[in-house]
Structure 1
Amino acid sequence: MSPRWEPNPEVRKGRHCVHDLSAHLVFVTKYRRDVFTDPMLERCEQIMKEVCEKFDCELAEFNGEHDHVHLLVRYPPKIALSSLVNSLKGVSARYLRQEYSAHVRQYLWDGHFWSRSYYAGSTGGANLATVRTYIQSQDQPQK
């Protein structure tokens, strides 16, 4: 990085790139059923942390309510966010159904745990208008 910049500990360095990618993810239980208890949410966080580590990602924040969870994930550019989401939902569903089977069966059936859909939002520091203005204001070389 340029010597005129202060190193930012939030910015991660790869072999050929410098990046600071993060996403806000929301997963909802199937039929929006109130499945989660506090111990289940704690276990879900633990499972998702382990999945993130296998993908070389960081689960920076996690919280949830009875029918959904929120995640803040920092990830490298080599990871397709959809692949990460697929693993997070698949692995957590499998373990939560196994470990809390009697409780989960009261709310969910047919082997499903999560809704098929999910929310993924970029958590970049600047909005699109600001980035667009910044790019347009760059000094172009003279011909």
Structure 2
Amino acid sequence: MLYMHTAQGNAMDMNSGSHMVYRLYTHIIFVTKYREKKFEDRTLNTLESILRLLCEKRGSKIVEFNGESDHVHFLLDYHPDTSVSQLICILKSGSSRQLKLHHPELNQFAWRKNALWSTGYFVCSVGGVPIEVLKKYIEQQDRPH
């Protein structure tokens, strides 16, 4: 990590790579298919571990994670070479497959498409929002017990 000072004198964490210094964060939300209430605390814990591992393998890092019974929020720190849309595709498919192995009760009935996630997602660059504010927002999600 490289630390740089802004004009106000505050230190901010920066990542560095070959011939570059960067700080890229994005807020991502995945929603369950049909907005079904599928998650409990234990499934969210498993999902968080799976997503962290998938991100780590692709040079990204989850800074904050939380969710409710029908959706999850996470704050992602990623490399400039990363295509966010491709990473989201990998995270959704990989997490769905692995989470169903750990929690078979998440599998759908035969007459329904066996998809965990809705086809859409929310992604937003968070360059203008203080990271601590966004982390607090994600922490305050009404996580099921």
Q: Which has the larger radius of gyration?
A: 1
C-alpha separation between the residues in 2 aligned to 1:32 and 1:112?
11
- What is the aligned partner in structure 1 of residue 24 from structure 2? 21
- The answer as to whether partners of 1:36 and 1:65 remain within 8 angstroms in 2 is yes
C-alpha separation between the residues in 1 aligned to 2:53 and 2:35?
25
**One-letter code aligned to 2:40:** T
Q: Tell me the TM-score normalized by structure 2.
A: 0.77
Runs of 4+ in 1 over 3 A off after TM superposition: 3-9, 103-106
Indicate how the Cα distance of structure 1 residues 8 and 15 shifts in structure 2: closer, same or farther if over 3 A, else same.
farther
- What is the aligned partner in structure 2 of residue 63 from structure 1? 66
After superposing the two structures, state which structure 1 stretch, 60-69 or 109-118, moved more.
109-118
**One-letter code aligned to 1:36:** F
- Following superposition, the deviation at residue 86 of structure 1 comes to 0.8
Q: Secondary structure at the match of 1:89?
A: helix
Q: Tell me the TM-score normalized by structure 1.
A: 0.78
Indicate how the Cα distance of structure 1 residues 90 and 25 shifts in structure 2: closer, same or farther if over 3 A, else same.
same
Q: Secondary structure at the match of 1:98?
A: helix
Task: Name stretches of at least 5 consecutive residues in structure 2 with no aligned partner.
Answer: 130-145
Deviations 1:32-68 (A, max 9, x none): 0000011000000000000110111110000000000
Indicate how the Cα distance of structure 1 residues 10 and 111 shifts in structure 2: closer, same or farther if over 3 A, else same.
same
Number of equivalent positions? 124
